[in-house]
Amino acid sequence: MSRLVVGAHYGVKDWLAQRITAVLMAIYTLVIFAAVLAGATGSHDAWRDFMAHGVVRFFTFLFIISLGYHAWVGVRDVWMDYIKPTSIRILLHVLTLLVLIGYAGWAIQIIWRL
Amino acid sequence: MSALNEQKKQRPKFLDLTVIRLPLAGYASILHRVSGAGLFLMLPLLIWLLDLSLSSTPEHLALFESITRNILVKLVLLGLIWAFLHHFCMGLRILLIDVHVGVEKQQARSSAMAVMVVSLSLTLAFGLKLFGVY
């Protein structure tokens, strides 16, 4: 079968990134759940100490970046599927990117000030 | 090439989702998108709650307590718990299918059922905790 290959070739990269970020977030979720069972949310001080720990902060940072990228690819796909007028679609793409970058900054600031 | 495009355009299409009867995996897949969209839209609430929960200011903690005690907020959180669990389970199913596990029709059907059952059961379990039943 011959097919016409078009586009900017970002598809495979994003497809792979979607999987890598998903695996990372899934593992992070399970670790956090285990920590909660072990008492990480037992008290306010315990919760702060847990999230302020260097290793936890390192992986929380990776989680935030992964979530941002994962949500970008997912939400962009939704816009691409349903929003036909190019100008509105690009506007939504830009707004999505901007809020996700803002959210990431906000979330990183929360864990870094601890 | 233009002949090929011409042919493509003439293919019969029937995409009325209100009439099409999808297999369970089809609905689970739609819910993957719906749950992802819901999580995205509610991100500010979740980050805000994280912010308050980790604050050292007593007023912020009091605010966190009062917000999370609100029944409407709890219902939103219950919805987000389901969205997260469904997205998580369905995501694992997608990853497994990517590596050719569970591609056969019967397995794919069972795994879609498993995603629905596991995510709804866990939502019930976490929901009962959220509403203070245990």
Task: Report pLDDT for B9.
Answer: 66
- CATH number, domain B24-130, options 2.40.110.10, 3.90.550.10, 1.10.3720.10, 1.20.1300.10: 1.20.1300.10
Task: Report pLDDT for B15.
Answer: 80
* Residues B25 and B94 sit within 8 Å (Cβ to Cβ): no
User: What residues of chain A lie within 8 A of the CB of B53, using their CB?
Assistant: 44, 47
Per residue in B52-102, pLDDT (tens digit) is: 999 999 999 999 999 999 999 999 999 999 999 999 999 999 999 999 999
Radius of gyration of chain B (CA): 21
Q: Which of A32, A67, A38, A57 is nearest to A112 (CA)?
A: A57
Mutate to test the interface with B, among A47, A61, A78 (most CBs of B within 10 A): A78
Domains of chain A, by residue range, sit at 11-112
Please name the member of B37, B47, B50 whose beta carbon is closest to the beta carbon of A78. Answer: B37
Q: What is the DSSP letter of A43?
A: S
Q: What is the DSSP letter of A38?
A: T
Per residue in A47-103, pLDDT (tens digit) is: 999 999 999 999 999 999 999 999 999 999 999 999 999 999 999 999 999 999 999
The predicted complex's ipTM stands at 0.91
Task: Report pLDDT for B1.
Answer: 47
Residues B36, A71: C-beta atoms closer than 8 Å:
yes
Mutate to test the interface with B, among A5, A32, A110, A112 (most CBs of B within 10 A): A110
Mapping DSSP onto H, E and C, the string for chain B reads CHHHHHHHHCCCCCCCCCCCCCCHHHHHHHHHHHHHHHHHHCHHHHHHHHHHHCCCCHHHHHHHHHHHHCHHHHHHHHHHHHHHHHHHHHHHHHHHHHCCCCCCHHHHHHHHHHHHHHHHHHHHHHHHHHCCCC
pTM for the whole structure: 0.90
Residues of B with CB under 8 A from a CB of A: 1, 4, 33, 36-37, 39-40, 43-44, 47, 50-51, 53-54, 56, 61, 88, 91-92, 95, 98
Please name the member of B4, B44, B50 whose beta carbon is closest to the beta carbon of A110. Answer: B50
pLDDT category at A20 given cuts 50, 70, 90 is: very high
CATH architecture of A11-112: Up-down Bundle (1.20)
Please name the member of B4, B33, B88 whose beta carbon is closest to the beta carbon of A29. Answer: B88
The Cα–Cα gap between B56 and B72 comes to: 26
Residue B133 burial (CB count, 10 A):
8
Q: What is the DSSP letter of A41?
A: T
Radius of gyration of chain A (CA): 18
